[in-house]
Structure 1
Amino acid sequence: MNTDTRSAPTRVLVITGDVLGAKMAGPAIRAWEMSKALHASGCEVRLVSTQASTLTHDDFTVAEVDERALKGHVEWCEVLVFQGYTLSTFPWIRKSGAIIVSDIYDPMHLEYLEQGKDVSPRVRSKQTEYISEVLNVQLELADYLLCASEKQRDFWLGQLAAVSRINPLTYDRDPSLRSLIDIAPFGISNTPAAQTRHGIKDEVPGIAVDDEVILWGGGVYNWFDPLTLIRAVDKLVHTHPKLRLYFLGVKHPNPDVPEMRMAAETMQLADELGLTGTHVFFNTEWVDYDDRVNYLLDADIGVSTHFEHVETACSFRTRILDYLWAGLPIVSTDGDTFAELIRSHNLGEVVPPEDVDALAAAIERTLYAPDRAVMSDRVREFGQTMTWDRTLRNLTEFCAAPIMAGDRTRRSTPVRKEVLRAFGRLRHTIFWRRTENLRQLIRKIVPLR
């Protein structure tokens, strides 16, 4: 536990490489909500985007920055909270005196194993290696790290051990290592969801106010499986002609994020089955962050389907948080963190991966359940345990009394780490074994100190 007692508020800089604006994806939303929570907890906050920003806030600075402006903000702060590629893009940050908090809620290297299937094997291999090294640098240098779940934390502890961050200095300070890495999941709004207009029903051509809407509440990425979902819908529409599937967003708001192969395949399959515009609908843009509630509350259930792979096992599906906020019963594929929550709290149904029949049956049972309103209340009630003020508590408590990691002064720089790794590899070579006698002679002549 931190024992720092300070009278002045902690100066915290939050950096995102994502677009801050009316339309935001997960990283930007998280940075925005972190900034609000930190301000509410008493910190002095600045939020900056190295990409683009059109947002403002009455209580703290929000800005788009180039490298020169970023240096001024870094010099100002006591604590620096960042995500993604910030340290690799601006390596001089490593030499700042700020306490560094790395937000690793997104295991990017696992995502890229699926995303990279769209590029050549050589590019995929090199990019996976690069992303892994980007994350290793963060793990080596951060004073405090945040991830999305206990399962993720176990995964990151393994990678922290691999880069020597689990050592006597960090362990002796806190054998649980919670002071080094802890949980700060994605959250939901602290205020209840309230609709101000229709976003889908009687608004999208082909969807009437009395239709039954299944919502796909986010982007269509390669690690998801919307194809099984569309095939399940195709099975159901013959007996449930008023059923509608609505994809909330296809085009990512960050221009640096390309459209993925799965998005094209999903729209192609819907066309081939004759479902597009009658039972399956695509919003090809991205819904404004503050307007998404009007789409969520026009839906009857929420769905999330994915494949069985390591990305799924370590994921924390942020779209399901929106379903909780809106009180939407959930149908989801098994294998991720939320699957067990859905089962244990009776929030909907969980099905095996890539099983069209099981998915169709689960959708039918959930969408047409006589007690769906009761289930909706239960989902909404559980969502109140995951509001932003609760999920970000570890971050706000750390920033109220920030402290450098126990091994900060003894930590190797990335360059020295690479030298040590190369030296370690050398010790296992034939050359090293053959020169043992020579090295023994040198040690006798020039004793090592």
Structure 2
Amino acid sequence: MKRTVLVITSELPPLPGAPVAGGGLRVRGLVEALRGAGHQVLISLPAALADKHPDLPEEYRPYLHEPETLSRIVYEAMPQVVLVEQWGLASYLDPGLPMPLAIDLHGPLTLENAFKTGSNYLSDALTKIETLGRADLLLCPGRVQKAYFLAWFLMAGASPQCPPLALVPLGMPPALPARQPGERVRVVFGGLTWPWIDPFPGLRAAAEALAERGGELALFVGPPPVVADHPLYGGNRGQGKDYAAELAGLASVAWPGLKPHGELLENYAAATAAFDLYAPNAERELAITTRTLEYLWCGLPVIYGDYGELAGPIREAGAGWVLDPRDVAGVRAAVASLFDDPEETARKSQAAQRLVRERYTWDRVAGPLLAFVDNPVKRSPAPALIAGFRDYYRSESDRKIREGKEKIGELHEEMRRKAEIWEAQRRERETWFENELRKKETLLESWRDKAESLQSEVAAKLADQEKLAAEQTALLAQAETRFAALENAAEERRLHGLDLERENDRLRERLAQTESDLVERAAAGEAARGEAERQARHLGELSVEINRLRFENEKLTRELADARAIPFAKFRGKWARRAEVVLVKLPKLVWLFSVNLLTNGKQRLRSGRAAGEPTDRT
């Protein structure tokens, strides 16, 4: 009986001119197997793909979905069987759908998500268990994965005696492509650069070995696509790895990048071998990848890890080199054999296609799925094992809650008694604090009165000091005025003394000239000479007196300068005496000196004329 099957997927199936991911190839294999058995297959893709691919074929457009609208799409299509690619999409379906539900677990999605930034493993695990509990059939591509998913299915409530978990390996088209290898040795490495795959150090070793022999390493790689801005599809954003830094400077490396699927297969068919060796981790040890099957389908012997489920079939078939990912020497030896033993490479190529033809084509792998579609059965709902754990822990929690409440009641009673004691102690402390406060307030009041009294006394003393300061300021002003007048008078006397000194210098010059004349005229007579000697002595005495007065004047000037810092009244008498010398005696002496000088000059003039000597009128 032919049935209608609705296949729901988030992966883009192979389209002309567009790259395709492994999930899309897996969906294509299941769809082709169902159609090959005569069933009608409807496909529901994310609505965002229609915007991204305007040339999307019409057969994919009627059932475009958003994750939140999946149940509505199912009721619109009304299929007899629903097949969902991965449990993540199935988690959006209503639990009570009447149609039998099959979920294809193409890979360990929970482990893959654990490698993505921002993932929540616990949330994924709980959602996965809840979703698997709704499935009537689970599909997986490998025996190791079947054991892995069985544990999850049992936790979701599946019967341990006969869990509906079927092995459906990856399927490839039965018609294998013809090999068209080129003359140059070319190793390919293709696919998306997921964060859980790490091809180093083996990939660099292969590139170095190819560079040494003139071969090529072609990288048909690119970052994972972001299908839509949605939590289910948007998790791929920024998750791709960049291999450029690891392979920098190697002449053998070519970067064709992601190619449309048809063009990619043509490149594979023209290559020599494929590199498919990764560092082991939890995801890699479970994975059975479509890229590996495509390499083998295209006749490419693969350099493969020794830990994967496909390692045994590849080794047994002689379809490649099964190596420890850390065996750099083994990688180099495998690459060298491509150059040194092309016949062995050709045998491995034939073995690769023979392995796929005998074990991994659509018509050979889809038996369990076709059997379920022919006889779809709704599984009797059973509580998930985790629900049993939940009920157990809920009862335990209830018991612990009761015990906790009893303990809380005891603690509450103990706290009440202690609170009464603390309240009595608090009141006692309050009384003591109030008494101490009153004492301190009384003491503070007395200190305040004393402070006010002291403040009044200080204010009175400050007023007296201000009055004394004002009087001192007035006296200082008067002293400064008197000092200024005295300084002016002293300055005048100093200038007058300077004038006298200049006059004295002129008189000395004339006296010197006169003495010279007297010496020349000494023969004029003893009387005139005697008179001249007397006048000379007299002039000497006057000179001494003038010098003494100059000294007095200079001393007076210095004392006047010193007196600026000394109270005026103390030196008033002393300044008066000095002023008397400067103002009274000094002018008199100068006048006497001038009179004497004139008198003597006249006498000398008369004496010179009497003697008949020439006279000097200077």
* Class of the TM-score when normalised by the shorter of the 2 chains: 0.7 to 0.9
Given candidates 75, 89, 102, the residue that maps to 1:86 is 89
Given candidates 413, 426, 443, the residue that maps to 2:394 is 426
Whole-Å Cα distance in 1 between the matches of residues 175 and 75 of structure 2? 32
State the 1:41 CA deviation: 0.8
* SS of residue matched to 2:133: helix
Partner of 2:199: 226
Q: Which amino acid aligns with 1:86?
A: L
Q: Which amino acid aligns with 2:167?
A: I
Whole-Å Cα distance in 1 between the matches of residues 73 and 93 of structure 2? 15
Partner of 1:326: 298
State the 1:399 CA deviation: 0.7
Whole-Å Cα distance in 2 between the matches of residues 70 and 87 of structure 1? 10
Matched ranges for 1:248-327 at <5 A: 248-255=220-227, 256=234, 257-260=236-239, 263-264=241-242, 266-271=243-248, 274-275=249-250, 278-284=251-257, 286-327=258-299
Partner of 2:21: 25
Shift of the 403–367 alpha-carbon distance from structure 1 to 2, 3 Å rule, reads farther
Shift of the 283–332 alpha-carbon distance from structure 1 to 2, 3 Å rule, reads same
Q: Which has the higher helix share?
A: 2
State the 1:236 CA deviation: 1.2
Q: Deviations over 1:149-190 (max 9, x none)?
A: 1111111112222233125xxx3xx4xx4xx00111222112
The 8 Å contact of residues 23 and 253 in structure 1, kept in 2 or not, is answered as no
Matched ranges for 1:228-247 at <5 A: 228-237=201-210, 239-240=212-213, 242-247=214-219
Does structure 1 residue 141 correspond to structure 2 residue 134? yes
Q: Deviations over 1:381-429 (max 9, x none)?
A: 1110211222222212211221122x33xx34x8xx8775443223445
Structure 2 stretches lacking a partner, 5+ long: 228-233, 407-618
Whole-Å Cα distance in 1 between the matches of residues 398 and 6 of structure 2? 50
Q: Deviations over 1:37-91 (max 9, x none)?
A: 2122121210111252554388x98753345586144451111000232122x24
Moved more, 252-261 or 137-146: 252-261
Whole-Å Cα distance in 2 between the matches of residues 374 and 57 of structure 1? 43
Whole-Å Cα distance in 2 between the matches of residues 318 and 77 of structure 1? 28
Q: Deviations over 1:175-216 (max 9, x none)?
A: xx4xx0011122211222147xx9xx9xxxxxxx53211111
The 8 Å contact of residues 168 and 365 in structure 2, kept in 1 or not, is answered as yes
Q: Which amino acid aligns with 2:222?
A: V
The 8 Å contact of residues 108 and 131 in structure 1, kept in 2 or not, is answered as no
Shift of the 225–297 alpha-carbon distance from structure 1 to 2, 3 Å rule, reads same
Shift of the 188–144 alpha-carbon distance from structure 1 to 2, 3 Å rule, reads same
Q: Which amino acid aligns with 2:237?
A: P
The 8 Å contact of residues 330 and 349 in structure 1, kept in 2 or not, is answered as yes
**What TM-score, normalized by structure 2, do the two folds share?**
0.58
Whole-Å Cα distance in 1 between the matches of residues 186 and 403 of structure 2? 73
The 8 Å contact of residues 4 and 80 in structure 2, kept in 1 or not, is answered as yes
Q: Which amino acid aligns with 1:281?
A: A
Q: Deviations over 1:111-138 (max 9, x none)?
A: 233x23xx3xxx34xx222222332123
Shift of the 144–246 alpha-carbon distance from structure 1 to 2, 3 Å rule, reads same
Given candidates 365, 373, 389, the residue that maps to 1:391 is 365
Whole-Å Cα distance in 1 between the matches of residues 266 and 63 of structure 2? 28
State the 1:101 CA deviation: 0.1
The 8 Å contact of residues 202 and 325 in structure 2, kept in 1 or not, is answered as no
Partner of 2:478: none
The 8 Å contact of residues 172 and 293 in structure 2, kept in 1 or not, is answered as yes
The 8 Å contact of residues 65 and 73 in structure 2, kept in 1 or not, is answered as no
Matched ranges for 1:193-204 at <5 A: 193-194=177-178
Shift of the 404–348 alpha-carbon distance from structure 1 to 2, 3 Å rule, reads same
* SS of residue matched to 1:287: coil
State the 1:310 CA deviation: 1.6
Q: Which amino acid aligns with 1:227?
A: F
The 8 Å contact of residues 191 and 221 in structure 2, kept in 1 or not, is answered as yes
Partner of 1:187: 171
Q: Which has the higher strand share?
A: 1
Larger Rg: 2
Matched ranges for 1:380-419 at <5 A: 380-385=353-358, 386-405=360-379, 407-408=380-381, 411-412=382-383
* SS of residue matched to 1:337: coil
Whole-Å Cα distance in 2 between the matches of residues 288 and 64 of structure 1? 23
**What TM-score, normalized by structure 1, do the two folds share?**
0.78
Whole-Å Cα distance in 2 between the matches of residues 342 and 129 of structure 1? 36
Does structure 1 residue 377 correspond to structure 2 residue 345? no
Whole-Å Cα distance in 1 between the matches of residues 56 and 290 of structure 2? 22
Identity score, percent: 20
Partner of 1:34: 30
Structure 1 stretches lacking a partner, 5+ long: 1-6, 202-208, 439-449
State the 1:99 CA deviation: 0.2
Whole-Å Cα distance in 1 between the matches of residues 263 and 145 of structure 2? 31
Partner of 2:65: 65
Whole-Å Cα distance in 1 between the matches of residues 189 and 389 of structure 2? 45
* SS of residue matched to 2:376: coil
State the 1:435 CA deviation: 5.3
The 8 Å contact of residues 231 and 356 in structure 1, kept in 2 or not, is answered as no
Shift of the 23–368 alpha-carbon distance from structure 1 to 2, 3 Å rule, reads same
